[in-house]
Amino acid sequence: MSKAAREYHLIDLVGTSYGGFQTLAGARQVAREEGLRAWDIFHGNDRIEYHDPDDRERSDVKEKQDLWMCLLLHAPAPQVPS
């Protein structure tokens, strides 16, 4: 039985876990759906993503294109008129 990490774990910066996901994209999607401003994603014991627009020096959000992606991730979903 392999001990390799199989899931990506999404955790907000106050320590709330949002569970395990099969893909990195799935973890990011839930972060967007939950409206998280900042988060960590772990794969096993390795932190593979640290996302915090208020801590750009340490965050994975460093380049201008990354900042645009951050803004897209946090943009509210368009509202459909009823």
Helices (H), 1-82: 24-33, 64-74
Q: What is the pLDDT of residues 3-18, one digit of tens each?
A: 566 899 999 988 899 9
Whether residue 70 is contained in a domain is answered as: yes
2 in a structural domain: no
Q: What is the pLDDT of residues 31-79, one digit of tens each?
A: 989 999 899 999 888 888 888 887 767 666 544 444 445 545 555 555 6
Residue 53, domain member (yes or no): yes
Strand pairing report for 39-43 and 17-21: unpaired
Spatial contact of 70 and 53, defined as CB atoms under 8 Å apart: yes
Domain count, the chain: 1
Residue 50 lies in a domain: yes
- What residues does 64 pair with on adjacent strands? none
Give dist(CA 75, CA 37) in Å, integer.
Answer: 11
